[in-house]
Structure 1
Amino acid sequence: MSKRKLGIMTGSGTTKQPRHWSLGLLGSMEDPESIVKKTERIVVIRDKYPKAKIHYLVLPYEDINSIYKLTEKHTSLLEEFGKLYEELKEKHKESNLRAGFHAVPSMQRLHMHVISTDMISPCLKTKVHWNSFTTRFFIPYQDVLKGIKEDGGIKKISNELHKSLMSTELICNQCNFKPKNMPQLKEHLLTHVK
């Protein structure tokens, strides 16, 4: 299919290469339909493929690729992430929200997930989706902030640990139920809805 048919045009009418999917957050940061809140340094957007009833992404305007590029100079930026997380918790008092970062993010540009623990969503489809939010692969916001303040950075996880976390057996994040597969888990999650 031609680029022209895909509708990829520059302002001058000439075609340009489409962005790689991993850069998709950059477009969402500018999309008024996605934006929930903006500050001078940060934007909060709705996740396009939410893995729970409530799922936001908190991103800096500064071009920081991942948590592994954070240093002590980013402490105040991360603290502002925390303030926005607190605002979202206040807005969604009826939900239990968590904030954290994926140890190996699939999307470029640093982003913090703020997600409800219900994990009810048609976009939650695979074991990898589940394990990326319910194992140590999901690094809590407070742990990242502490690592930056105390150690000056975050240590990368090994490929072996990454594989191990993604292949962890399914277990409900709200009780000890161990489903045989994702459909069974998704059905079970509905029993926790109040």
Structure 2
Amino acid sequence: MQEENDVEFQRGLLTRKMEAGEDVVIQTDKAAVLRNVILPKAQYHFVVLPKEDIANVTALTRDHLQLLDHMMELANQTIEQQKHLPSSKFLVGFKMESFMNRLNMHVISNDFCSDTMRRIQHWNTFNTDLFITYQAVYALLKVKGSIEPLSPDTAEKLLTTRPFHCNQCRFITGNFNKFKEHLQIHWQRQENERINKMNMLQLKQSFGNMNINGNFKNDGSRQNVGHRSENHIVENKQQFNSKQERQELHVTSPVGTNLTNPRPYKKWYNKKKQNSQMPEVKPTTESAKKI
């Protein structure tokens, strides 16, 4: 009797957590999202519970379609909060053989990499017909109006299904420990890719805060090259005018004159001045006759 009471107490754990606001991520007047912190079966594992007392997925009817829409909205909000993990990495649905005494919709990442993924039944619960997706439940309720339960024999057979097929590649094995190691490799690879992308993003942001051409202000901050100051434009204009004047001087000066060293120009100028001061030589009579 005591054992039965203990089992029943455990089955009501999620309901008590919801009512106490414990591990609640999102809550409305119709449903709540709880983080599975006790026995998560993946890196990201949440459950959506309705406030209405519904035993399990087989107790749903067409009248609950609106409630299911609302529960899916909360599930999508929860997935969006996991910004570095896309929605394609999540499964949303129900266990056909749920232990809890309140309907709960699982929102779980498909890595299934967790220390509490200890038994074959834990994997098969989410990766066989023991798990029914939200889309399948919604379609069956809309068409048939109900969800048929699995027979005990079928449920027992599914729980012990072998071999194990990886949900991310073609790997197959009958050894569950080896299979868990394989899932760990997938998760580690995914985490490495996420960290690399995050590092690349931070690197791009760092480059965005600096000028690759090395144009910085005196205070070390970046100078906007596309919108230079008026003083900078005036300074460039003055430099241009000075250069233009130098080119004009170079044209009117003798060949070989170096404007940075005016000595050759001075020598030429003095020679020209000296020649202009020399007395005029008059031709002799004989030379005049020849002319």
Question: Normalising by the residue count of structure 2, what TM-score does the alignment of the two structures yield?
Answer: 0.58
In 1, Cα distance between equivalents of 2:91 and 2:112: 11
Q: Give 1 or 2 for the bigger CA radius of gyration.
A: 2
SS of structure 2 residue aligned to 1:125: coil
Percent of pairs with identical residues = 37
Map Cα deviations across residues 24-54 of structure 1 (whole Å, 9 max, x no partner): 1111213434101101100100112100000
User: Partner of 2:11 in structure 1?
Assistant: 22
More displaced 10-residue stretch of structure 1: 116-125 or 176-185? 176-185
Q: Which has the higher contact order (CA 8 A, sep 6+)?
A: 1
In 1, Cα distance between equivalents of 2:170 and 2:182: 11
User: Partner of 1:10 in structure 2?
Assistant: none
The equivalences for 1:118-157 within 5 A come to 118-157=111-150
Do the aligned partners of 2:24 and 2:33 also contact (CA within 8 Å) in 1?
yes
Amino acid at match of 1:133: F
Q: Does 1:62 align with 2:68?
A: no
SS of structure 2 residue aligned to 1:101: strand
The equivalences for 1:50-129 within 5 A come to 50-93=40-83, 94-95=85-86, 96-129=89-122
Structure 2 alignment gaps of length 5 or more: 191-291
Distance 1:49 1:31, change over 3 A: farther
Amino acid at match of 1:71: T
Structure 1 alignment gaps of length 5 or more: 1-16
Do the aligned partners of 2:33 and 2:75 also contact (CA within 8 Å) in 1?
no
Q: Does 1:49 align with 2:39?
A: yes
User: Partner of 2:176 in structure 1?
Assistant: 182
Over 3 Å off, 4+ runs: none
Q: Kindly state the Cα deviation for residue 160 of structure 1 after the two structures are TM-superposed.
A: 1.8
Which of the two has greater helix per residue?
A: 2
SS of structure 2 residue aligned to 1:183: helix
Map Cα deviations across residues 37-73 of structure 1 (whole Å, 9 max, x no partner): 1011001001121000000000001110011111111
Map Cα deviations across residues 107-157 of structure 1 (whole Å, 9 max, x no partner): 110000000001011111100000001111110011111111111110111
Amino acid at match of 1:135: T
